[in-house]
Amino acid sequence: MRLIQTLGEFIINRQAEYPGATGELSALFSALRLAAKVVHREINKAGLVDITGAAGEDNVQGEEQQKLDVYANEKFKTALAARGVVCGLASEEEENFVRFEEGLNLKAKYIVLIDPLDGSSNIDVNVSVGTIFSIYKRISPAGTPVTEEDFLQPGNKQVAAGYIVYGSSTMMVYTTGNGVNGFTYDPTLGVFCLSHESMQLPEDGIIYSINEGNYVHFPTGVKKYIKYCQVEDDATRRPYTSRYIGSLVSDFHRNLIKGGIYLYPTSSRYPNGKLRLLYECNPMAFLAEQAGGKAVAGDNKRIMDINPTELHQRAPFFVGSKNMVEKVEAFLREFPK
């Protein structure tokens, strides 16, 4: 019988490979997976909330039901603040970064950037959503309050990044810069189990994911690429398949496993792109690169080399199979306007 390896065991085993590791990152991951389980539980009964509400009851926590993205934000924030290993957090749900200064937190070295519930507009229709996280070491000295500078670091400084996808099963996929591993949640045991070891993004794929409804607003290079995807050519397995969930985590996850490309370019509606650099693009870029893929904001513009200037900064985003991303870059190079 093959033994199950839980996420907790996997992290402890890996930690042994890093002499001098203090266990702080392991504690941080333990907070992430606890919050993930709570959010998983809540999302799984999202459709029931109105029913219990109609009976005049509060939800199971005895609280007034909150929007799930606010709920997820609170759960991750509370879990991360409780371990004494994180000194600050920035979230899509909060305008400013939050300082954790109680107890050991002030002296902690890690900061976390998070999108607690990405694609939350999909919840009402029972479509997968996700949590995205990105972890850095602070720049400011331990023992002092974190500053904005701690959060405005380029993606190439990430210590770890990952996501949780609340899909037909719930999974956590993460990297600490040493490959990408995926863990599927077994709700009967209450643990994440190693299910996808050393994930590799296929160099080529046949799936392209983009909100094609915005076609008229896209830059010419992107329009040309879309047309390229749709042309018949047996040698390159075209026309490709179009798949767009509208939930970055789910679209990325599918492409990671099957091979493909996700595109959110600039448009007249979103002149800088829609996705947020620090807690959407950078963590996905880190995962993509660690799995052998590529992530750029345009031709020859590596996402992880962008120096951020704002917490909620947006960036155009092209991520996925290396050869597919390079093809888009070629079109953007040829049609720069």
118 binds Mg ion (CB under 5 A): yes
* Window contacting ligand AHM (CB under 6 A); options: 36-44, 114-122, 289-297, 306-314: 114-122
CB 11 to Mg ion: min, Å: 26
User: Treating both helix axes as pointing N-terminal to C-terminal, what angle do 68-81 and 24-44 enclose, rounded to 10 degrees?
Assistant: 160
Side chain identity, residue 184: T
For residues 93 and 69, is the Cβ–Cβ distance under 8 A? Answer: yes
248 binds ligand AHM (CB under 6 A): yes
Toward Mg ion, which CB reaches closer, 218 or 252?
252
d(CA 267, CA 328): 16
CA atoms within 13 A on the CB side of 160: 18
Residue 105, Cβ neighbours under 10 Å: how many?
20
d(CA 259, CA 138): 34
Candidate residues 15, 211, 241, 323; the one interacting with ligand AHM per rule CB under 6 A:
211
Show contacts with ligand AHM in window 134-193 (CB under 6 A).
none
115 binds Mg ion (CB under 5 A): yes
Q: Which residue carries 């792109």 as its tokens?
A: 273
Show contacts with ligand AHM in window 63-102 (CB under 6 A).
92
Toward Mg ion, which CB reaches closer, 87 or 285?
285
CB 274 to ligand AHM: min, Å: 6
Cα dihedral 200, 313, 113, 285 in deg (nearest 10): 10
Toward ligand AHM, which CB reaches closer, 92 or 289?
92
**Under DSSP, is residue 133 helix (H, G, I), strand (E, B) or coil?**
strand
Give the distance from CA 100 to its chain's centroid: 22
Q: Which residues pair with 172 in a beta bridge?
A: 164, 183
* Window contacting ligand AHM (CB under 6 A); options: 95-103, 170-178, 232-240, 245-253: 245-253
Toward Mg ion, which CB reaches closer, 115 or 289?
115
d(CA 329, CA 331): 5
Toward Mg ion, which CB reaches closer, 226 or 281?
281
Alpha helices in 259-300 (DSSP H): 282-290
User: 240: which DSSP letter?
Assistant: P
CB 255 to Mg ion: min, Å: 17
Token pair, residue 11, equals 């992290």
d(CA 117, CA 138): 24
Candidate residues 73, 91, 105, 120; the one interacting with ligand AHM per rule CB under 6 A:
120
For residues 132 and 284, is the Cβ–Cβ distance under 8 A? Answer: yes
Candidate residues 33, 75, 253, 274; the one interacting with ligand AHM per rule CB under 6 A:
274
Candidate residues 131, 153, 247, 321; the one interacting with ligand AHM per rule CB under 6 A:
247
* Window contacting Mg ion (CB under 5 A); options: 59-67, 97-105, 110-118, 148-156: 110-118
Toward Mg ion, which CB reaches closer, 118 or 329?
118
Candidate residues 115, 150, 289, 329; the one interacting with ligand AHM per rule CB under 6 A:
115
Token pair, residue 328, equals 């888009």
* Window contacting ligand AHM (CB under 6 A); options: 19-27, 118-126, 176-184, 301-309: 118-126
- Binding-site ranges for ligand AHM (CB under 6 A): 92, 115, 118-120, 211, 246-248, 251, 274
- Binding-site ranges for Mg ion (CB under 5 A): 115, 118
